[in-house]
Amino acid sequence: MTQNLEPSVPEQHTLGASSVLFGNLKHGPIAIASLILVTIVLIALAAPILAGTDPLLIHPTERLRPGSLQHWFGTDALGRDVYARVVYGARTSLIVGTFAATASIAIGLAIGVIAGYFRVADLIIMRIMDGVMAIPGIVLAVALVAISGASLTTVLVAIAAPEIPRVVRLVRGVILNLRGEPYVEAAISLGTPAPLLLVRHMIPNTVAPLIVQSSFVLASAILSEAALSFLGVGLPPEIPSWGNIMSEGRKYFQLYPGLIFIPGMFLAVTVLSVNLIGDALRDVLDPKMAKRL
Amino acid sequence: MVSYIFSRTLATIPVMAIVAIIVFLLLRLSTGDPAAIMAGDAASPAQVEQMRHQMGLDRPIAVQFVVWINHLLSGDFGLSLHSKIPVWDMIAGRVGPSFALSISTIAFSVIVAIPLGVIAAWAHGTLLDRVAMSFSVIGFSAPIFVTGYILVFFFSLKLDWFPVQGYHPLSDGPLLFLQGIALPTLALSTIYIALISRITRSSLLEIMGEDFIRTARAKGATEFSVFLRHALRNASIPIVTIIGVGAAFLISGVVVTESVFNIPGLGRMVVEAVLARDYPLIQGLVLVFSFVYVVVNLIVDILYTVLDPRITY
C-alpha cells in the first residue's frame, strides 16, 4: 500500500493525484474482504483445535462470567464458553449458508433452464415464482419451520426456498436471450437434441452471472440462518451458531452486551466480506449489471 | 391510464391466488398430519378428528381448496388455537405499530438516502463518494438485530436518550410515540438507506451523461439546478422501483425489528405464533404479509405512469 501512496512511475501523475490514490484504494477493501473470509473459513475448519473446550459443556457454577484468560469471551447463562461457541458458530454459519446457497442455486438453475427453454412450462413456472416471491423471505421461512418443527433440514429448506425465485429469474433471462442467438439457431437447425443444446451451448453462459448471484445468495443465507436462530425459530438452541448465541444473550443484554456484540460482529463482518467479494466479482464478470448498480 | 390501473390491479389476482395455493399446499404436503398441526399440540384425538372433518381432509383436495378459499374470501381466517379469537381480529389489532414503523422507516430512509445518493453522484470518484458508498455496503450487510442492539447500547443504555424497548401509539402523544419509534426506525432504515442511496447515485450518474443535461448546462443552468431539477427528477423512476423491491426487505425487517424492540406489531406476532405453533394464525399472517407486498408493488407500478408520462401501456 505504501507504494501506491507514492507513485514512482511518472505517467501516473498525469492521471491526477486523486484518481491514482483512490483508483488503487478500490482494490483495498476487496483484499481485506478476501482476507477476512479466508480467516473465517480457517476458523471454521480448525474449530476443534481453536476452541480448546467443548462448546456444549455446561458449567452451572460459572454462569455469565466476564472475559478472562480461561474464557476469552466469558461464559453464557449456562456457563458454556462463549469463545468456543463463537468459533464453532463460524462452522455452523458457513456450513448452513453454503448448503442452502448451493441447494437454491442448483434447484433455481434447473427450474430456470426449463422455464427459459420450454414456453409452456415458462408460463406456469413464472406464475409460481411470482407467488413465492410475494411471500417475504423470513415469513416463508418461519411458516416452513412452524409446519415441520425446528430441525437442521427444515431450517436449510426454509433458508433455501425463498432464494430460489431470484435464481430462476436470472437463469431464465439468460436462456431466453440465448434462444435468439445465431449459433443457437444453427445448433437447433442441425438437429441438436434439446438436452445437449442446453448443456453444451446454453448453460455455460449462465455460469458467470450465477457465480455473482451465488455470493449474494450466500450472504443472504448466512443472514437468514442467524435471523431465524436469533428469533428462536431456527436451529435447535444447543447447536452453537452465531444466531443462537445472540438469541440466548437477549435476556442478559443490559448486563452482558458482549453476548450479542461478539457473535454479531463476526456475523456482520462475514456477511460484509461476502457482499464485497460479490460486488468485485460482478465488476469483473458482469460489467453491464455492475454499471447499473 | 385508468385502463392500465384497472388491468394492473386485475393482474394481482393470479399472484395472490398462487400465494393462497402455496399456503394451502404447504400444510397438506408437510410430513405431519395437517389436522394435528391445525388443531395444535394440546389437542385430544377427538379434537383432531373434529378438525379433520372441519377442514374436509376426508374429501378430495380440490374440494378442500374450494372450501378453504371460500372461507378466506368471506374474511374467515379461522380461530387462533390459543386465544380462540378469530385470526382476522387478532391481525387487525396488531396492524397499527407495524404500519407506523414501516411508514416512518420509508420516510426517514428517503429523507436521508436521496441527499446521500445525490452527494455521492455529485462528488463521483472522490473520497466523499467512496465513504458514502462504503456506508451503503455496510448498511446493507449489517444484520438489523445487530444494528438494533448497537443503537440500544449507545442511545438507551449509555446516553439514556430513548427507552430500551416498548412502543407507544400516536394516541399516547407525539413525544412518547417518537421516542419509542426512533431507534427501531433507525435500525430498520439502514438497509433501505443503503439500497436507495446506491440506486440514486447510479441512476443520477447515468442521466448526467444524457444530451439534455449538456443542453441544460450549455444554457447556463447552475450545477445545482442541473442536478436537482433536471437529473433527479428523471432518476425518480428507478428510486421508486427500489422502494417497491425493498418492500420485501422491509417486511422481513419488521419481523426482526419488532422482536428486538419488543413492539407489539404483526412482525412479533409471527414469531409468537410460530413459538406457540398456532398454525391458523401463521397462515393468516403469511397471507396478509404477501398481500401487503403485492399491493405495495401495485402502487409502485401505478406511480411510474404518474412520474413518467412517457410510459404508456
Q: What angle do CA B220, B197, A218 make, to 5 degrees?
A: 145
- What is the distance in angstroms between the Cα of B195 and the nearest Cα belonging to chain A? 10
State the Cα–Cα distance between residues A180 and A194, nearest whole angstrom: 15
pLDDT at A71: 67
- What is the distance in angstroms between the Cα of B89 and the nearest Cα belonging to chain A? 20
Chain B residues touching A293 at Cβ < 8 A? 198-199, 202
Of the candidates B27, B127, B202, the beta carbon closest to that of A293 is on B202
Of the candidates B164, B274, B290, the beta carbon closest to that of A134 is on B290
Q: Is the Cα dihedral A64, A70, A71, A74 positive or negative?
A: positive
Residues 94-133 of A with CB under 8 A from B: 127-128, 130-133
CA dihedral A79, B150, A30, A24 (to 10 degrees): -140
Cell of A241: 451458531
State the Cα–Cα distance between residues B155 and B160, nearest whole angstrom: 6
pLDDT at A110: 93
b/e string for A33-53 if b means 16 or more Cβ within 10 A?
beebbeebeebbeebeebbee
pLDDT at B277: 77
How high is the mean pLDDT of chain B? 83
Q: Where does residue A188 rank: exposed (0-12), middle (13-18), buried (19+ CB within 10 A)? A: middle
Answer yes or no: are the C-beta atoms of B34 and B57 closer than 8 Å: yes
Is B18 in Cβ contact with A143 (below 8 Å)? no
Residues 34-93 of A with CB under 8 A from B: none
Q: Is the Cα dihedral A168, A154, A250, B289 positive or negative?
A: positive
Helices (H), A46-163: 47-51, 82-117, 119-134, 137-148, 152-160
Beta carbons within 10 angstroms of residue A17's beta carbon: 10
Of the candidates A137, A147, A227, the beta carbon closest to that of B145 is on A227
pLDDT digits (tens, 9 = 90+) for B131-163: 888 888 888 888 888 888 888 888 887 787 877
State the Cα–Cα distance between residues B237 and B297, nearest whole angstrom: 13
A230 has a chain B CB within 8 A of its CB: yes
State the Cα–Cα distance between residues B133 and B139, nearest whole angstrom: 10
pLDDT over 80 at B59, yes or no? no
State the Cα–Cα distance between residues A114 and A202, nearest whole angstrom: 12
Contacts of A52 (CB under 8 A, 6+ apart): A81, A83, A84
Answer yes or no: are the C-beta atoms of A262 and A240 closer than 8 Å: no
Of the candidates B125, B141, B153, the beta carbon closest to that of A268 is on B141
pLDDT at A288: 61
Is A19 in Cβ contact with B125 (below 8 Å)? yes
pLDDT at A98: 93
Cell of A211: 457465480
DSSP sequence for B29-74: HSSS-HHHHHH-TT--HHHHHHHHHHHTTTS-HHHHHHHHHHHHHT
A275 has a chain B CB within 8 A of its CB: yes
Is A135 in Cβ contact with B290 (below 8 Å)? yes
State the Cα–Cα distance between residues A173 and A290, nearest whole angstrom: 17
Q: List the single best residue of B28, B87, B140, B146 to mutate versus A (max A Cβ within 10 A).
A: B146
Residue type, A244: N
Answer yes or no: are the C-beta atoms of B260 and B148 closer than 8 Å: yes
Of the candidates B145, B248, B274, the beta carbon closest to that of A142 is on B274
pLDDT digits (tens, 9 = 90+) for A60-99: 777 667 777 676 777 776 767 778 888 888 998 999 999 9
Is A257 in Cβ contact with B202 (below 8 Å)? no
Cell of A49: 483445535
Q: Where does residue B167 rank: exposed (0-12), middle (13-18), buried (19+ CB within 10 A)? A: buried
Q: Is the Cα dihedral B180, B182, B185, B190 positive or negative?
A: negative
A69 sits in the region (left: phi over 0; alpha: psi -120 to 50; else beta) called: alpha
A137 has a chain B CB within 8 A of its CB: yes
pLDDT digits (tens, 9 = 90+) for B200-239: 888 888 887 788 888 888 888 887 888 777 888 778 888 8
Contacts of A101 (CB under 8 A, 6+ apart): A160, A163, A214, A217, A218, A221
DSSP sequence for A142-190: HHHHHHH-S-HHHHHHHHHGGGHHHHHHHHHHHHHHHHTSHHHHHHHHT
Segments of chain A with pLDDT less than 50: 1-25, 292-293
